[in-house]
Amino acid sequence: MECLFQPDAYLGDEVIDCYINLIKAQEHLKCRSGGHVHIENAFQFNFLKRDSDVETKTDELYPSKDMAQITSAERRVLLYLDHDMVFIPINIREMHWYLVVINARNMEIQVLDSLGTSSGRNDLIDTIKGLQRQIDMVSQRKELKDHRWPDLRIASWPLREIEMEYAKQTDSSSCGLFLLNYIEYWTGDELSDNFTQVYYYYYDIMRASWTS
């Protein structure tokens, strides 16, 4: 955790994942005004992105003899479908973090980015394509019913860039801190009232540590 208090420190996968686990352990954050939430780990988008390559057949990614792989994908899909929102951290070339929210109630893909719309969305598009292929694969193996999603054609859902207004970074390295705050305080429609206070509380701690 020491890197949180280093000036210009970029937060890597392991640190992000550690804090995500702490957030996931808080029961009151599992259900918000926008519905039940599943928070994905910092590595998962890489596997979803991998599965987006249509030149690689699904049965090559998940061969029928490898039931462990198939079962893993099936568990993931069923877990997602059992929640109204799925939070997926996206890491662009190990340089920038932003948050993707699959909002099933609104049937849209929400993007919370502390740099606004200045970053490309190719990683996001590939992640959604990969998830769609996993959903399609699982639906061919079993009937998907009694879940929370009104539509399984997630690749057709609109992409909505959330205007963060005051919740934007003004430096080149705090995207990871913003990501963690988005994960903790996004309700599905807005950031909770605590966001600004909590962010600047931690930012003040970091500034104090840099100058001490």
Q: CA 85 to CA 87: how far, in whole Å?
A: 7
3-class DSSP state for residue 159?
Answer: strand
Q: What is the pLDDT of residue 13?
A: 85
Q: What is the pLDDT of residue 2?
A: 45
Q: What is the pLDDT of residue 9?
A: 56
Contact assessment for residue 37 and residue 83, using Cβ atoms and an 8 Å cutoff: yes
Q: CA 83 to CA 26: how far, in whole Å?
A: 16
Amino acid at the residue 42? A
Q: CA 77 to CA 118: how far, in whole Å?
A: 31
pLDDT band at 172; cut points 50, 70, 90: confident
Contact assessment for residue 134 and residue 79, using Cβ atoms and an 8 Å cutoff: no
DSSP 186: B
pTM confidence score? 0.86
Q: CA 81 to CA 139: how far, in whole Å?
A: 12
Question: Which CATH superfamily includes the segment(s) 2-211?
Answer: Adenoviral Proteinase; Chain A (3.40.395.10)
Q: What is the pLDDT of residue 195?
A: 60
Strands 35-39 and 85-92: parallel
Tens of pLDDT along 48-84?
Answer: 999 998 888 887 878 777 777 778 889 999 999 999 9
Tens of pLDDT along 27-48?
Answer: 999 999 999 999 999 999 999 9
pLDDT band at 12; cut points 50, 70, 90: confident
Contact assessment for residue 131 and residue 50, using Cβ atoms and an 8 Å cutoff: no
Looking up tokens 């970091």, which residue turns up?
Answer: 206
Contact assessment for residue 183 and residue 16, using Cβ atoms and an 8 Å cutoff: no
Q: What is the pLDDT of residue 63?
A: 77
Amino acid at the residue 46? N
Count other Cβ atoms within 10 Å, centred on residue 55: 5
pLDDT exceeds cutoff 70 at 194: no
Tens of pLDDT along 129-167?
Answer: 999 999 999 999 889 999 999 999 999 999 999 998 777
Q: For residue 84, what are its two tokens? A: 């109204």
% of the chain residues with pLDDT over 90: 55
% of the chain residues with pLDDT over 70: 86
Q: CA 163 to CA 149: how far, in whole Å?
A: 25
Residue 119 or 121, more confident: 121
pLDDT exceeds cutoff 80 at 189: yes
Which of 74-78, 80-84, 116-120, 201-205 is predicted with the least confidence, judged by mean pLDDT? Answer: 201-205
